[in-house]
Amino acid sequence: MPEKPDDDPFHDCELDPDAVLGTRTFHNVLFTDDTETPVNVLTGETPAHSQASVEEAKAFTASIDTDTPQIALPASVETQVETQSKPYTAAAFFHFKATGSLERHRAYHAAYDSDAFTVDFETDYASGDLTITVDRANES
């Protein structure tokens, strides 16, 4: 047990490290070329702002100046229409929209920020799958 809560990267988490240790794949969470886009009912065409490729989305996420690696998540059709935005949005690879819960998001974030764990992730933009692997640093 850590002497101080600050020594434990999971002290603010609802989940303990065991909840995120190992490899887990989150299916159909990434932006893909098949991500739904709005269609103008009068013309039958997708608006220019909603036309994008996976390569464009990946370039956008890579251009964000942050220490935390970003992934491209699909934007909802409603968001695309209301804000006239692209069909993707950037987020940290452990974002709750990708991992399925705020509790898991916090646990992956704690592991990523801790020297006690190694965290790797792989994106498959063809299938929309995100795979995250967490190991204890002394075991990798």
pLDDT, one tens digit per residue, over 72-98 is 999 999 998 898 889 999 999 999 999
Number of neighbours of residue 112 by Cβ within 10 angstroms:
22
Q: Name the helix (H) or strand (E) containing 77.
A: helix 77-83
The answer to whether the beta carbons of residues 136 and 35 sit under 8 Å apart is no
> What is the maximal distance between C-alpha atoms in the chain?
65
* pLDDT, tens digit (0-9, with 9 covering 90-100), for 11-58: 889 999 999 999 999 999 999 999 988 888 888 888 888 889 999 999
How confident is residue 2, by pLDDT bands cut at 50, 70 and 90? very low
**Stated pTM of the model:** 0.88
Distance (Å, whole) CA 98 – CA 92: 9
pLDDT computed for residue 1 by the predictor: 43
The answer to whether the beta carbons of residues 10 and 112 sit under 8 Å apart is no
Both tokens of 109, joined, read 């974030």
